[in-house]
């Protein structure tokens, strides 16, 4: 069920605004709010003891360390819960747990579920969750790469595919999507999201939810999504994992909250609280974001699960002195399920019996958990269904290959080195990432099978054998090693080649959780290897694998072509070969800004203006006075090396005729869904077909608060034949033209707007209009 944010606004004499108090909405998910589900939830709740209620709020782990539970319920000694004297199988049988994570495979989930369904008094099924971030068995590009497709339909289809695979193993709950806006490439978890922009992030969030949950959560091929990490975790100071976040109310609502809100609007069944504190209050004990905002304002009616041991960590944050304090604060703030702290089951019985935590609070938490279980149809279909998927599926490979092809971003292509020419009969393939299938999976690789992934070496050897070309492979160096003993073989291979393809980048585990980096250069001795290869003067292509933007300043000057490949997944090699040889044209566009140097971080296109602009970050801002006293670095550019939205193709595109449906919009009309329509013509000016992402940016000047120099407010992915033109339109209404002030109101004022349309965030084709009273 979707609701119209634009339709509930109030006017005043000077602006149209949407305050937090005015944003009351209908329930965000009709499936969870159905009268039949509510009847069943209430009937079951009346039968439950306190211990059974608390059990629904407790989650236990497996971590893949223990073998299948034996008939006598014994666990192996290295199970972390076993070390605490905990037997999850026994708890499942007496109603002591409500959900489990990292229990992978139909056989395992069946054993635990059978205990819950056959031995527990009320036969309440367990909910099995897992970190399925970019595929279960058939793996597609990491989310940052997937976002680079700007293809929401593709994201939806891939999400549905991964849900269909995982449910055959009993998994009905994904800890995904991560919708944190991330503007600091040092933060390792930037790989898990859609990048730096809230508009694009919101579009991707909706696509993930649609794919995972479908229109019927009760369909056994669908899963409940858990949107994370609520809230604003992507703004952790210094890009350091688990670190604090502090920002104005305006920035929080305008930049960091929109993707979460979009996910709730799309019907997300669950949310996950973040590790960080937000404006001084840890998210896991933050009633403002989890109760006032999420539930009362946005109408969220699912449940919130803590991140791993986050309830316990409230004592580390210093806001709780004891386990009981942490339990009370987290539950009353709105965290229904305690993931792996083991605090709720240990502390809640005493807290409730002593009256320190009202039974009504526990009942509401349990009601939300049961609501999701009933909506998923777990009571009717508790076990995995269908034939279990244990390897990457051949029928799914074309889709993940298409995703990989669309995710690659061509950053540079001097002298048309790409696609590889037919007369390139001697090719040198060099680098540690050319023949490592597990690296191609990236962080959070699902339950992938090691032998399923096609490497770049695999695919290029197959190509060479068919075309009569010669491929010479040399690893050159290990990813993180400074040992240069392999350089000689790599240089020999390059000297004898017509063209050199270098596969360099990060180790997959250098990004993701706990993957914060203070330096964004190529690790180990890879930079030195690249410099020596480039010095030979051979046409050289850099294929870059990473989970974040890296510093490519040297490569941008000295390497002929750069293809950003992220971590592409199961079909990595085939997808790369298709693009390198020109069977597919690169069409990915950056969703994060690439810096000249790490000292520019955090770096993003939607910068605020200053009183002393330099003019290099936005074409609409004239240069400041020719003096030292400007808002700039003295030793690096302000702007990105490669900006948000940027990407090349094997053809070229031009933009023209940016027009608006009017030069003004009445302020009062915004209340009634009034809007301006912007149109522009995009033309394929090259000699082959290609895809362009047409991007619409807006700047608001004259408002009561300073606004970014431009913000993305629309995009269209367009397929064009050689010489073909298309007209693309964007409707700009309340959502696109408003901003959030520091009183918690979304407002629109009589101001001046500039609309930019083009192929990246530096778009300079523009038109202007005013909102008038």
Question: How far is CA 468 from its chain centroid?
Answer: 42
134 near 446, Cβ under 8 Å? yes
* Catalytic annotation, pick one of 184, 301, 307, 345: 307
**Average per-residue pLDDT in the chain?**
93
Angstrom CA distances, 312 to 78, 172, 243, 646, 696, stand at: 22, 26, 16, 43, 45
Buried b (16+ CB within 10 A) or exposed e, 414-440: eeebbbbeeebeebbbbbbbbbbbebb
| 639 a catalytic residue | no
Q: How do residues 35-44 score in pLDDT, each as one tens digit?
A: 999 999 999 9
Q: How do residues 570-585 score in pLDDT, each as one tens digit?
A: 999 999 999 999 999 9
468 against 571, higher pLDDT: 571
Let me know if 554 is exposed, middle or buried by CB neighbors in 10 A (0-12, 13-18, 19+). middle
How large a percentage of the chain has pLDDT more than 70? 92
Q: How do residues 57-104 score in pLDDT, each as one tens digit?
A: 999 986 443 333 443 334 333 445 555 567 889 999 999 999 999 898
Rounded to whole angstroms, the Cα distance separating 110 from 120 reads 15
Sheet of strand 540-545: strand arrangement: 409-413, 561-564, 540-545, 499-505, 426-430, 470-474
Rounded to whole angstroms, the Cα distance separating 489 from 465 reads 22
Beta strands in 614-710 (DSSP E): 653-660, 664-666, 676-684, 690-701
Q: What is the pTM of this model?
A: 0.95
Locus of tokens 């069920």: 1
Q: How do residues 414-443 score in pLDDT, each as one tens digit?
A: 999 999 988 889 999 999 999 999 999 999
Q: Say which CATH topology domain 653-772 has.
A: Immunoglobulin-like (2.60.40)
pLDDT band at 110 (very low <50, low <70, confident <90, very high): very high
User: Per the structure block, which two tokens stand in for 502?
Assistant: 């270098």
Ordered by start, the domain boundaries in the chain are 653-772
């Amino acid at each position: 069920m979707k609701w119209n944010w634009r339709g509930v606004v109030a006017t005043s004499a000077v602006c149209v605004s949407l305050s937090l108090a005015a944003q009351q909405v209908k329930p965000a998910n009709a499936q969870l709010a159905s009268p039949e589900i509510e009847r069943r939830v209430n009937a079951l709740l009346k039968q439950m003891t306190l211990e059974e209620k608390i059990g629904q709020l407790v989650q236990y782990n497996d971590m893949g360390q223990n073998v299948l539970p034996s008939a006598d319920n014994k666990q192996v000694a290295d199970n972390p819960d076993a070390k605490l004297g905990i037997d999850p199988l026994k708890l499942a049988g007496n109603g002591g747990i409500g959900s489990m994570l990292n229990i992978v495979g139909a056989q395992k989930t069946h054993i635990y579920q059978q205990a819950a369904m056959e031995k527990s008094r009320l036969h309440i099924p367990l909910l099995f969750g897992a970190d399925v971030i970019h595929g279960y068995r058939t793996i597609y590009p990491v989310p940052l790469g997937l976002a680079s497709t700007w293809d929401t339909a593709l994201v939806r289809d891939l999400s549905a595919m991964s849900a269909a695979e995982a449910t055959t193993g009993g998994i009905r709950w994904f800890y995904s999507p991560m919708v944190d806006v991330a503007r600091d490439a040092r933060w390792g978890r930037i790989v898990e999201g859609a990048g730096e922009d809230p508009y694009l992030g919101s579009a991707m969030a909706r696509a993930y939810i649609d794919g995972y949950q479908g229109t019927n959560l009760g369909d056994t091929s669908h899963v409940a999504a858990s949107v994370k990490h609520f809230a604003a975790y992507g703004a952790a100071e210094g890009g350091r994992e688990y670190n604090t976040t502090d920002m104005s109310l305006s920035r929080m609502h305008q930049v960091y909250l929109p993707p979460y809100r979009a996910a709730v609007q799309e019907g997300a069944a669950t949310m996950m609280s973040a590790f960080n504190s937000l404006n001084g209050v840890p998210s896991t004990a933050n009633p403002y974001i989890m109760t006032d905002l999420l539930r009362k304002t946005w109408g969220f009616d699912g449940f919130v699960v803590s991140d791993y041991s986050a309830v316990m960590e409230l004592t580390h944050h210093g806001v709780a002195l004891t386990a009981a304090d942490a339990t009370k604060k987290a539950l009353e703030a709105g965290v229904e399920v305690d993931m792996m702290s083991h605090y709720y089951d240990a502390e809640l019985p005493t807290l409730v019996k002593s009256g320190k935590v009202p039974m009504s609070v526990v009942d509401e938490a349990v009601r939300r958990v049961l609501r999701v279980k009933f909506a998923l149809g777990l009571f009717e279909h508790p076990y995995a269904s269908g034939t279990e998927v244990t390897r990457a599926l051949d029928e799914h490979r074309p889709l993940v290959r298409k995703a990989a092809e669309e995710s690659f971003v061509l950053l540079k292509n001097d002298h048309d080195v790409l696609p590889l020419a037919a007369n390139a009969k001697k090719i040198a393939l060099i680098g540690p990432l050319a023949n490592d299938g597990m690296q191609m999976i990236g962080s959070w690789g699902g339950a992938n099978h090691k032998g399923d992934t096609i490497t770049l070496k695999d695919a290029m050897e197959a190509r060479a054998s068919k075309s009569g070309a010669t491929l010479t492979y040399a690893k050159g160096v290990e990813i993180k090693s400074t040992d240069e003993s392999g350089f000689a073989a790599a240089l020999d291979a390059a000297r004898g080649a017509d063209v050199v393809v270098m596969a360099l980048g990060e180790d997959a585990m250098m990004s993701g959780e706990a993957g914060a980096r203070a330096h964004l250069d190529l690790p180990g001795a890879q930079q030195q290897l690249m410099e020596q290869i480039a010095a030979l003067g051979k046409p050289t292509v850099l294929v870059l694998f990473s989970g974040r933007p890296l510093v490519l300043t040297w490569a941008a000057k000295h390497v002929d072509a750069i293809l950003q490949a992220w971590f592409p997944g199961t079909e990595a090699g085939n997808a790369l070969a298709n693009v390198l040889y020109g069977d597919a044209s690169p069409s990915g566009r950056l969703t994060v800004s690439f810096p000249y140097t790490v000292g520019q971080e955090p770096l993003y296109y939607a910068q605020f203006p200053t009183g002393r602009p330099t003019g290099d970050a936005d074409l609409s801002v004239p240069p400041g006075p020719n003096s030292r006293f400007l808002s700039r670095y003295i030793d690096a550019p302000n702007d990105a090396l490669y900006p948000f939205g940027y990407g090349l193709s094997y053809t070229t595109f031009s933009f023209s005729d940016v027009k608006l449906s009017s030069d003004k919009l009445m302020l009062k009309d915004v209340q009634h869904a009034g809007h301006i329509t912007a149109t522009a013509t995009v033309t394929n000016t090259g000699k082959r077909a290609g895809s362009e992402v047409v991007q619409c940016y807006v700047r608001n000047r004259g408002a009561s608060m300073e606004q970014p120099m431009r913000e993305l407010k629309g995009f269209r992915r367009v397929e064009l034949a050689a010489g073909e033109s298309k007209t693309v339109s964007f409707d700009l209404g309340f959502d696109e033209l408003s901003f959030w002030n520091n009183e918690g109101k979304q407002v629109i004022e009589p101001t001046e707007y500039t609309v930019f349309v083009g192929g990246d965030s530096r778009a300079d084709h523009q038109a202007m209009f005013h909102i008038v009273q």
